[in-house]
Amino acid sequence: MFIKKVKLILQSEDSECGQACLAMIFNYYGYGISLPELRKNHSAQTGGTKVSYLMETCTDHGFRAITYSLTIEELRKLTLPCILHWNFSHFVVLTKINKNSVEINDPALGCMRIDQDKLKQHFTGVAVEIKKSESFSPVKPK
C-alpha cells in the first residue's frame, strides 16, 4: 500500500509558519502552491498567524478547515495531516501518530519524531483539520 508523504516546506520568515503549514497540506491534497505564491496572495500577519487566518485562507483555496480544542488522546480522531498549535506561538503539521510518538513537519526545524512527553510540553490543545471542500479543484504546481 502506498502511503503519501507530506512534503516539508520550510518557512523563510519568522511569521510565516502558518502559511508554510498550509502550503504543505494544500500540496498533499494536489493543490500545487509554493510558499512564495501563498505569501504573495495572503501576506503573513504581524505578530504571528492566527487560526482565523488559516481558516480563511483554506476557504479561499477550496478547502474546509475545522478548529478543535482537544486532548492528545483525541488527536487520533482527526484526519491527517492536520495543523497543531505549538508553544502558543507556532504551528506544525502532524503527519503520523504512532503508539508512543508522533511525526511532525515543523516549518522552522524540519521533520521529526517526538515522544508523548515532548508532545505534552509543546501542543497547546488546538488543532486545525483541513479537508477538501465541494468547491475544491486541483491545481498543478507552476
Using the structure block, give the residue that is written with the C-alpha cell 504512532.
Answer: 98
Would you tell me how many other CB atoms lie within 10 Å of the CB of residue 134?
A: 6
Considering its fold, how many domains does the chain have in total?
1
The answer to whether 17 is a known catalytic residue is: yes
The verdict on residue 108 lying in a domain is yes
The verdict on residue 1 lying in a domain is no
Backbone angles phi, psi at 51, to 5 degrees: -60, -35
What is the domain range of residue 103?
Answer: 16-132
Residue 2 pLDDT exceeds 60:
no
Residue 22 pLDDT exceeds 70:
yes
Burial of 1 by CB count in 10 Å (0-12 exposed, 13-18 middle, 19+ buried)? exposed
Maximum Cα–Cα distance across the chain: 43
Residue 65 pLDDT exceeds 90:
yes
The verdict on residue 67 lying in a domain is yes
Percent of the chain past pLDDT 70, that is, above it, reads: 94
The verdict on residue 142 lying in a domain is no
The verdict on residue 5 lying in a domain is no
Question: What CATH number should be reported for the domain holding residue 123?
Answer: 3.90.70.10
pLDDT at 84: 98
- Let me know: does 88 contact 17? Beta carbons within 8 Å: no
CA 97 to chain centre: 15
- Kind of pairing between the strands at 90-97 and 101-106: antiparallel
Tens of pLDDT, residues 30-57: 999 999 999 888 776 666 678 999 999 9
State the catalytic residue, choosing from 17, 21, 58, 82. 17
The verdict on residue 35 lying in a domain is yes
Between 23-27, 101-105, 107-111, 137-141, the lowest mean confidence (pLDDT) is in 137-141
The verdict on residue 53 lying in a domain is yes
Tens of pLDDT, residues 111-131: 999 999 999 999 999 999 999
